Structure 1
Amino acid sequence: MTVRLAFEDGTLRVEHDGDGPPTDGVDSLPGVESDDRTGTGRAPAMAYANLVAYLDHREIPYEDDALHADTLDVASAYELRDYQQGALDAWQTGTEGGDGAPRPRWGVLELPTGSGKTVIGLKAIEALGTAALVVVPTIDLLTQWKRELGREFDREIGQLGGGQQVLGPVTVATYDSAYLRADDLGDQFGLVVFDEVHHLGGEGFRDIARMLVAPARMGLTATFERPDNAHEVVADLVGDVAYRLSADDLAGDHLAEYDVKRLEVPLTAAERERYEDAQGTFTDYLQQSSVQLRSPSDYQELVKRSGNDPRAREALLAKQRARRIVRESDAKVEELARILDRHRRDRVIVFAASTDLVYRLSERFLLPAITHETGASERREILEKFRSGDYSRVVTANVLDEGVDVPDANVAVVFAGSGSEREFTQRLGRVLRPKEDGGRALLYELVSADTAEERVADRRR
């Protein structure tokens, strides 16, 4: 008896030709279910690696028509640092699946910004020698990966996204393009690298991993865990964390030493009065309605309730007013003025909480501004002038948090932010690249004293 594997319509088709194992039919194979319409078995494409390992272990003969990945002969001039080699070795060993079976060449590498995750991905492609797909969340990252891969491997690199749809043995795709073309890509790559792999937790993007045969899977991120716990789904699709290092682990040897300074600034009397009134409206509603906010999903339920409950809507609007008061207080603006004056010779990135605030600070301090409204060419020009030293400071919202090659800076100011650990880690990472003079990096947190923002800052840290 021979089992036959084929890729069809984004899934694996599994069949065999008669007597012999598996004696109970193809649905006795791991992950395979009977398809009464065709008289064959079906399994998610991502089950390929586990299924082949099972057949090999049981010495069940099979014909593999599911994976059509080209072999690849490439080499990179990079030499891995000790921790990068450790990460690659850990990924090669793999992680354990939900069924307890080992999954070699599966897993997520969680390393801080600036630690060279891209280099590890390059070396994984080189080591496996198979057609590889790199999936990224932004056009900026697509451009960076394509440039790096083309330079190191000295070959044309395929691109899906950013106005191009060109496949190659090594291809870089945005999550959006990979999702739209998952049916076409499914059997063509032996390795898939998901950069900023936490994005794979999004409902639609999960199908990219499910519909790829790719037996080798690598996730790269600085912050794997998601507040909605969708990282547990990502672990099923790519593997759990195989290797993890923090900024503290690498500070001094491979990243800059750093300090975090939290500056608590007071509200003015007028701001305090407006804040207490707005915050009181919000908390009064929660108490009277017996609503408890323990997670982001609880807050979303409150948002849904506001659609038909005028009091809930009033409470949410009051919360927004309170949040804006503490995020944009006059004392914060004055404190920022002192910081910018103190660091006139440094390269400074100021992180604000909204586009409106970015433009307000840009006008107040004559800072180049980068927001989601900034065109790609203008953004490149600003970052290039920041890199060359023509600009010594920029202000942004969350555009530079990830997916953009930010030039070396040594001071970051979180003027206002969310309670997200990911956001904090990514912003800290923007100043952690090693300094030529061996100097320390510095991150300021501006927090409005005696407000809910203190709790947000504690959660962020």
Structure 2
Amino acid sequence: MLTLRYDEGTIRIEDAPDDVARLSFVEADPRSETHRAPAYRYPFLRRTCADRGLRADDRVLDRFGLGGLSTTYDLRGYQTEALDAWRDAGDRGVIELPTGSGKTVVAIGAIAALDTPTLVVVPTIDLLEQWAGELEAEFGETTAIGRLGGGDQRLEPITVATYDSAYLRAEAVGDRFGLLVFDEVHHLGGAGYRDVARLSAAPARLGLTATFERPDGAHETIEELLGPVVYRRSADDLAGEHLADYDIKRIEVELTPEERASYEAHQGTFTDYLAASGLQLRSGSDYQELVKRSGSDPKAREALLAKQRAREVMLNADRKREVLADLLDRHRGDRLIVFTAYTDLVYELASRFLIPPITNETPADERREILDRFRRGAYSRVVAANVLDEGVDVPDANVAVVLSGSGSEREFTQRLGRVLRPKDDGGRAILYEVVTTETAEMRVSRRRR
């Protein structure tokens, strides 16, 4: 009879019969005279043993229930559909739902249904605190809730961890949990973070995101570690009934003559280098090749810096400020969030229009106070650079103004999601996208649409 044990991020197989030893993901380990499989292959290894009638002494996970978990949430129709689709896929896969649609509620339903030790992995301390609060409210009377991150290092049957903390303890927690939940699962595509899933034996795996695909193709690795997308609904699918109806309005502005001359000069330096070098930027990996060349090629470095300067001119156009002034005046009675790509611009706008600023430099306590005042109505508008895109519980707003950003579909979707929560008065949400004409920003906007 073969024996299965968890050992340093792998499954050690003792006395493996030939039909197990020959599996594509099983390798011989001459040092211990055993065989090994990657930890994330554990459920497939168990299934193989069952399918082939092999008796196995399985010592990988301590399988115990948490005392009959239950949830007070009444899942909406699409949330039930999402949970059912995940369960039908063998408790594996990714659920893609827009921001504000209640992905956390689906995960809580999954935790209650499986009643097994669970690790929830999140990208930020803010999300760690939000998840811990939700889990304590739902399951705190039945089981303790642990935290890994933000100064806490406490493992419990249900634990919330940041990606960084989970990565640092990936081997240590690899045999502790039967269910992994990855919030903002697109982060799992990062080279180091993948180990959190790869070194874990957890059979059940759930990924949550509003935007699964990554430009670098790393979502394919996530599918291997967690399973494919098993349920997907867009903002358009849920608008009107579960999310606010919304409008997206694009406002085009011209560069000033001085800005145009600067933009064209820097952009020309960049395009001239591409033409001379034969490099074509068709993907993120092509751009990384340019970055790599810039380390040793002065011309490549000059081109890269010119591209960055052209982008700064384009995204920080003076006339965008004029548009913002008009929109702030037009929406005096609305709750409004302004998004920019640059921290310096956040502080400039905050000073000019007397709007509370939030950046990655804002202390956590101050950020929470600003958002709390925004929630209570003491503030009716805030301006932020990227930090509110994800990982922060943003109070309800009904107007978003995107002055500048990365241009990615993910970022745009996340910013739109900040105004999609249903309104008490049934009103529509509005997102204004302010773009400069005859620039790369305009082309990206058109392509995204």
TM range (shorter): over 0.9
Corresponding residue of 1:120: 106
- Would you say the 8 A contact 1:419–1:459 is kept in 2? no
Q: Where do residues 215-226 of structure 1 align in structure 2 (5 Å cutoff)?
A: 215-226=203-214
List gaps (5 residues or longer) in structure 1: 95-103
Match of 1:418 among 406, 411, 414: 406
Distance 2:338 2:155 in 1: 39
Match of 1:290 among 253, 278, 284: 278
Distance 1:390 1:69 in 2: 50
Distance 1:25 1:56 in 2: 13
Q: Tell me if 1:78 matches 2:73.
A: yes
The secondary structure found in structure 1 opposite 2:355 is: coil
Match of 2:22 among 20, 28, 32: 28
Which whole-Å deviations, capped at 9, do the CAs of 1:190-225 have from their partners, x for residues lacking one?
Answer: 111011111111111111101111000000000100
AA partner of residue 317 (structure 1) = L
AA partner of residue 5 (structure 2) = A
Corresponding residue of 1:39: 33
Q: Tell me if 1:397 matches 2:397.
A: no
- Would you say the 8 A contact 1:285–1:312 is kept in 2? yes
Q: What is the Cα deviation at residue 59 of structure 1? A: 1.7
AA partner of residue 45 (structure 2) = L
Q: Tell me if 1:312 matches 2:300.
A: yes
List gaps (5 residues or longer) in structure 2: none
Q: When the two structures are superposed, what TM-score results if normalisation uses the length of structure 2? A: 0.97
Aligned identity (percent) is: 65
Corresponding residue of 2:138: 152
Corresponding residue of 1:370: 358
Q: What is the Cα deviation at residue 66 of structure 1? A: 0.4
Distance 1:335 1:409 in 2: 19
Q: What is the Cα deviation at residue 316 of structure 1? A: 1.9
Q: Where do residues 152-171 of structure 1 align in structure 2 (5 Å cutoff)?
A: 152-155=138-141, 156-171=144-159
Q: Where do residues 223-238 of structure 1 align in structure 2 (5 Å cutoff)?
A: 223-238=211-226
Q: What is the Cα deviation at residue 154 of structure 1? A: 2.7
The secondary structure found in structure 2 opposite 1:182 is: coil
Q: Where do residues 32-431 of structure 1 align in structure 2 (5 Å cutoff)?
A: 32-72=26-66, 73-94=68-89, 104-155=90-141, 156-431=144-419
Which whole-Å deviations, capped at 9, do the CAs of 1:1-56 have from their partners, x for residues lacking one?
Answer: x1211111121111228xxxx3x264134632211111111011111111111111
Distance 1:305 1:8 in 2: 41
AA partner of residue 78 (structure 1) = Y
* Range that drifts further, 255-264 or 448-457: 448-457
The secondary structure found in structure 1 opposite 2:172 is: helix
- Would you say the 8 A contact 1:33–1:42 is kept in 2? yes
Which whole-Å deviations, capped at 9, do the CAs of 1:304-328 have from their partners, x for residues lacking one?
Answer: 2222222222222222221111111
Distance 2:5 2:306 in 1: 57
Corresponding residue of 2:9: 10
Corresponding residue of 1:456: 444
Q: What is the Cα deviation at residue 295 of structure 1? A: 1.0
* Range that drifts further, 343-352 or 155-164: 155-164
Corresponding residue of 1:100: none
AA partner of residue 376 (structure 2) = S
- Would you say the 8 A contact 1:30–1:51 is kept in 2? no
Distance 1:350 1:245 in 2: 26
RMSD: 1.2
Q: When the two structures are superposed, what TM-score results if normalisation uses the length of structure 1? A: 0.95
Q: What is the Cα deviation at residue 185 of structure 1? A: 0.7
The secondary structure found in structure 1 opposite 2:200 is: coil
Match of 2:432 among 431, 441, 444: 444
Which whole-Å deviations, capped at 9, do the CAs of 1:388-422 have from their partners, x for residues lacking one?
Answer: 00100000111011010000000001100112110
Distance 1:50 1:188 in 2: 18
The secondary structure found in structure 2 opposite 1:183 is: coil
Distance 1:290 1:234 in 2: 33
What is the number of residues matched between the two proteins? Answer: 446
* Range that drifts further, 250-259 or 321-330: 321-330
Which whole-Å deviations, capped at 9, do the CAs of 1:305-362 have from their partners, x for residues lacking one?
Answer: 2222222222222222211111111111000100110000001110001111111111
- Would you say the 8 A contact 1:350–1:394 is kept in 2? yes
Q: What is the Cα deviation at residue 276 of structure 1? A: 1.6
Q: What is the Cα deviation at residue 69 of structure 1? A: 4.1
- Would you say the 8 A contact 1:146–1:172 is kept in 2? yes
Corresponding residue of 1:98: none
Distance 2:23 2:54 in 1: 11
Q: What is the Cα deviation at residue 108 of structure 1? A: 0.2
Q: What is the Cα deviation at residue 289 of structure 1? A: 2.1
Q: What is the Cα deviation at residue 272 of structure 1? A: 1.4
- Would you say the 8 A contact 1:15–1:26 is kept in 2? no
Which whole-Å deviations, capped at 9, do the CAs of 1:254-274 have from their partners, x for residues lacking one?
Answer: 000000000001111221122
